[in-house]
């Protein structure tokens, strides 16, 4: 039996065609945008594209319920709090897929070319995520109903 060498051809850089998307800005946060793909009331689930421009970083927040993440384009960086300091936790390339069961405090940042990430999030008691201030206090919440209203306006 002979060993076979399987070669993969170099793939050209792929980009998502987002020309049909009218990105919605996250109010008050420069360089952060989203587009709601769908909401499922029975499962209390929200699917959306999240776009970060190069170097844009979102505030610290906690996904309340289970969340799956797929990096569609660019480099997605995650930051975690260790003691009183934020540190770079992961650098996620296109194709990265991961998930957590909720209650996950972190911040996210776009790499040198930014990032587009598919988020699939479940609500707990109607809450998708909580945004925190520097002291760790909840200053805002994103609810399932918020995303339902956005989806209705997008259509």
Are 65 and 123 in contact by the 8 Å Cβ rule? The answer is yes
Is pLDDT of 14 > 80?
no
Reported confidence tier of residue 86, pLDDT bands at 50, 70, 90: very high
Written as one string, the DSSP assignment of 54-94 is: TT-BPPPEEE-S-EEEEEEEEEEEEEEEETTEEEEEEEE-T
User: CA–CA separation, 105 vs 95, rounded Å?
Assistant: 23
Question: What is the band of 116 on the pLDDT scale with cuts at 50, 70, 90?
Answer: very high
How high is the pLDDT of residue 28?
86
Domain spanning 24-154, CATH class: mainly beta
Q: Identify the band that residue 13 occupies on the pLDDT scale cut at 50, 70 and 90.
A: low
Tell me which residue of 71, 39, 11 sits closest to 142, measured CA to CA: 39
Query: Residue 5's pLDDT is what?
Result: 52
Quote the mean pLDDT of the chain: 91
**Residues near 46 by beta carbon (within 8 Å), at least 6 away in sequence:** 36, 38, 39, 40, 119, 120, 121, 122, 123, 128, 144, 147
Give every CB contact of residue 112 below 8 A, 6+ residues apart in sequence: 54, 55, 75
Q: What does the pLDDT look like over 43-80, one tens digit per residue?
A: 999 999 999 999 999 999 999 999 999 999 999 999 99
Burial (CB count within 10 angstroms: exposed 0-12, middle 13-18, buried 19+), residue 28: exposed
Distance CA 60, CA 56 (A): 13
Please give the residue that has the higher pLDDT: either 43 or 136: 43
The residue ranges of every structural domain in the chain are 24-154
Distance of CA 82 to the CA centre of its chain: 21
């Amino acid at each position: 039996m002979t060993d076979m060498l399987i070669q993969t051809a170099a793939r050209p850089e792929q980009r998502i065609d987002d020309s049909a998307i009218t990105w919605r800005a996250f109010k008050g946060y420069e360089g952060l945008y989203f587009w709601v793909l769908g909401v499922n009331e029975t499962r209390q689930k929200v699917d959306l594209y999240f776009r970060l421009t190069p170097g844009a970083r979102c505030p610290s927040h906690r996904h309340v319920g289970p969340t799956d993440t797929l990096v569609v384009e660019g480099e997605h960086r995650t930051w975690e709090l260790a003691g009183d300091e934020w540190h770079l936790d992961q650098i996620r390339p296109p194709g990265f897929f991961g998930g957590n069961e909720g209650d996950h405090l972190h911040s996210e940042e776009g790499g040198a070319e930014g990032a587009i990430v598919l988020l699939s999030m479940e609500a707990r008691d109607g809450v998708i995520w909580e945004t925190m201030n520097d002291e760790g206090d909840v200053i805002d919440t994103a609810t399932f109903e918020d995303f339902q209203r956005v989806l209705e306006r997008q259509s």
